[in-house]
């Protein structure tokens, strides 16, 4: 055997190929994530709590019907007894300032920080799940959960309203009456707009979630952002920045209840949300892609 042979030694077997990702991997990851989110007792309780709002509101209005108190309250609420469809709008209106931001805070704040605090993040990342993919799947799962929350409110409101007050032709804000079927479509539009206008806050919450290992911190910060935004929106001195505020266009869903819907207004509201999503989505990605996972 020559010296060269000794040096070369046995021919090394070819390096094993890196295992390839299987088709449907992202779908499996997302399904697993959704199962986790919707399987958590806390999240189920949260959804049930939100769904109870229209039920309680409907019952209160039903009981107060015919008393001196009936017809009082903010615009949409007063109309509920006339048409059950309005209970959907009234319930969403009541949940928007605090309960829905709270829901978003809990769901999005938990997304990354929850995995970090329980230590499961390091095991997901070493499976490996790519960081960008994990963030995207967490974002989608959170959005699905928030959408489910909005839908839970809307559907329970629709059922409660239909049972207690009946569904009749819808009298729009402009006074025109449209058939019940078209009215239902309008109310569905309101629900869709509300869900869509919450995406910006989800992105903000996701970003906070990448900053900390303490989920409660990220949750609280997210809720605070929504509240501060609403407060700033009330200060006339800050009128210049109002159109860009996260919450400024939230109540524009009322546009859906006009005879001629001004799509420009709604589009502007959605554009603002898209901008918040872009900015905070990029920040979350920038942070999470390089963050040291030491939990």
Partner 1 sequence: MTSGPVSPLLAADAARRGDTVVASGAQAPVPASREATVEAPAVRTSGLTKRFGSAPAAVDGIDLHVPRGSVYGFLGPNGSGKTTTIRMLLGLVRPTSGQAWLLGEPMPGASAGVLPRVGVLVEGPAFQPYLGGRQNLTRLDACDATADPRTSRRRIDDALDRVGLAAAADKPYRQYSLGMKQRLGLAAALLRPRELLVLDEPTNGLDPQGTREVRTLVRELADAGTTVLVSSHLLSEIEQVCSHIGVMSRGRLLVQGERAALTEAGEARVVVTTTFADAGAAARVLVALGLVDVAADGTEVEASLAGTGVGVGAVSAALVHAGVELLGLELRRPSLEQLFVTLTGEGFDVAR
For partner 1, give the closer residue by CB, 24 or 74.
Answer: 24
- Binding partner 1 (rule: CB under 8 A), the pick from 1, 5, 7, 41 is 41
Convert residues 112-141 into a mask of x (bound to partner 1 by CB under 8 A) and - (unbound).
------xxx-xxxxxxxxx-----------
For partner 1, give the closer residue by CB, 124 or 173.
Answer: 124
Tell me the three state secondary structure of residue 7.
helix
d(CA 81, CA 46): 27
Taking the CA of residue 3 as centre, how many other CA atoms within 13 Å lie in the half-sphere pointing to its CB? Answer: 0
Contacts (CB under 8 A) with partner 1, residues 251-280: none
Convert residues 70-109 into a mask of x (bound to partner 1 by CB under 8 A) and - (unbound).
----------------------------------------
For partner 1, give the closer residue by CB, 52 or 130.
Answer: 130
Tell me the three state secondary structure of residue 173.
coil
Convert residues 194-233 into a mask of x (bound to partner 1 by CB under 8 A) and - (unbound).
----------------------------------------
DSSP state of 15: P
**Cis bond upstream, residue 128 (ω within 30):** yes
- Binding partner 1 (rule: CB under 8 A), the pick from 8, 31, 169, 286 is 31
34 binds partner 1 (CB under 8 A): no
Contact residues for 104 (Cβ-Cβ < 8 A; gap 6+): 142, 146, 198, 201, 202, 205, 222, 226
CB of 145 to partner 1, least distance (A): 16
Q: Are 259 and 176 in contact (CB under 8 A)?
A: yes
Tell me the three state secondary structure of residue 177.
strand
Residue with tokens 């989920």: 215
CB of 130 to partner 1, least distance (A): 6
Tell me the three state secondary structure of residue 171.
strand
Backbone angles phi, psi at 170, to 5 degrees: -95, 125
Provide the binding-site residues for partner 1, judged by CB under 8 A. 12-16, 18-22, 25-26, 28-29, 31-32, 35-36, 39-41, 118-120, 122-130, 290, 292-294
């Amino acid at each position: 055997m020559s010296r060269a042979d000794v040096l070369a030694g046995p021919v090394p077997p070819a390096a094993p190929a890196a295992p390839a990702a299987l088709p449907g991997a992202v779908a499996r990851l997302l399904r697993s994530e959704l199962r986790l989110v919707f399987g958590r007792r806390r999240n189920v309780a949260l959804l049930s709590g939100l769904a109870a709002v229209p039920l309680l509101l409907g019952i209160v209005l039903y009981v107060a019907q015919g008393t001196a108190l009936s017809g009082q309250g903010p615009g949409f609420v007063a109309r509920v007894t006339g048409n059950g469809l309005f209970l959907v709008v009234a319930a969403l209106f009541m949940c928007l300032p605090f309960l829905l931001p709270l829901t978003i805070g809990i769901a999005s704040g938990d997304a990354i920080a929850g995995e970090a605090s329980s230590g499961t993040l390091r095991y997901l990342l070493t499976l490996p799940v790519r960081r960008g993919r994990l963030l995207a799947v967490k974002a989608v799962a959170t959005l699905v959960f928030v959408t489910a929350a909005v839908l839970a409110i809307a559907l329970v409101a629709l059922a409660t309203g239909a049972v207690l007050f009946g569904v009749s032709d819808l009298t729009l804000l402009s006074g025109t009456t449209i058939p019940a079927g078209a009215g239902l479509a309008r109310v569905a539009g309101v629900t869709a707009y509300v869900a869509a206008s919450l995406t910006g806050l989800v992105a903000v919450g996701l970003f906070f979630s990448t900053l900390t290992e303490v989920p409660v911190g990220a949750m609280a910060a997210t809720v605070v952002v929504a509240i501060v935004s609403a407060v700033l929106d009330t200060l006339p001195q800050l009128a210049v920045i109002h159109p860009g505020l996260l919450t400024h266009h939230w109540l524009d869903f009322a546009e859906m209840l006009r005879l001629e819907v001004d799509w420009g207004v709604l589009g502007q509201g959605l554009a603002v949300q898209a901008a918040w999503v872009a900015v905070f989505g990029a920040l979350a990605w920038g942070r999470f892609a390089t963050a040291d996972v030491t939990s």
